[in-house]
A = this chain, B = another copy of it.
Amino acid sequence: VTGHVALVGAGPGDPELLTLRAVKALAVADIVFYDALVAEAALAHAPRAQKFCVGKRARRPSLSQEAIHSLLVRAARRGKRVVRLKGGDPFVFGRGGEEALALCAAGIPFDVVPGVSSAFAAPGLAGIPVTHRSLSSALAVVSGHAESAWRPVLSRLEPGTATIVVLMGLRSRAAVARALLDRGWAAPTPAAVVRGASTENQGRWLGTLAELAAARPDEDDAGAPGTVVVGGVVALAGRLRPSAEPEAARSEAATGGRADAR
């Protein structure tokens, strides 16, 4: 009797951005292993399941990746229907590939339920279309946590040839801005930081590449994930104000000189 594991993307935060397939997987789950950023309300779709947070929480560190693999494999071997619920999409900076390989190696059947990635949804919900006719038809998506990965890409990109999205980009924003300016990107290139996309704490900072290093979008909330966006499309954010964002986001008080109330 072997169980089954679903590697499920939970989307950027708002539980309404779960897919129907994610909800179905949760509804029949016996056990859910979830990341720290997954919303409580998403877990409510799994009423039958035992639920375990395997991400970083309060002052306790996250489990090692190997420990997570072991939990998934052991639960499936006990015949359980397991959901591994991950923020965004499981295969976009989510280490889902490692979990999938571990399941393959153990002979555990699994499937992948793609999710809405913050790479596109964070800009989009902040009024920034990552592509836009005449402004950008190419994207570079990197993680701020991996300088050895973002630097070779960003230091090559010709100025203005792509919209740049830096996931988990708050801490690296000064270094990213420096790399782009050094590469010849213009100082007035529009730049944004989107925090807590799709949650009630959503906020955005709008400015320029020259100002990005000094942006203070995170004074009150250093732990919140932030998505940095650079490129001409960011200029549209000033004109596009979707009406149905969470009220808190729209009425957000400015946290820095140019943080934006929406």
Residues of A near any B CB (own CB < 8 A): 4, 6, 9, 11-12, 14-21, 23-24, 89-98, 100-101, 104, 109-112, 114-117, 119-121, 123-125, 127-133, 136-143, 146, 148-150, 152-153, 156-158, 161-162, 198, 233, 236, 239-245
A243 with B17: CB separation less than 8 A: no
A114 touches B12 (CB 8 A): yes
Is A104 touching B240 in the complex (CB atoms < 8 A)? yes
- Among B20, B120, B143, B162, contact of A92 (Cβ-Cβ < 8 Å): B120
A104-B239, A120-B92 are known contacts. Are A150 and B130 too (CB-CB below 8 A)?
Answer: no
Q: How far apart are the CA atoms of A104 and B129 in the complex, in Å? A: 14
Q: A19-B17, A97-B233 are in contact. Are A121 and B89 (CB under 8 A)?
A: yes
Q: A19-B20, A110-B243 are in contact. List 11 more A-B contacts (CB 8 A).
A: A16-B24, A17-B20, A89-B116, A89-B121, A93-B131, A94-B131, A96-B129, A112-B125, A114-B116, A138-B143, A141-B141
Q: Are B157 and A161 in contact (CB under 8 A)?
A: no
Q: Report chain B residues within 8 Å CB of A129.
A: 90-91, 96-97, 100
CB distance from A97 to the nearest CB of B (A): 3
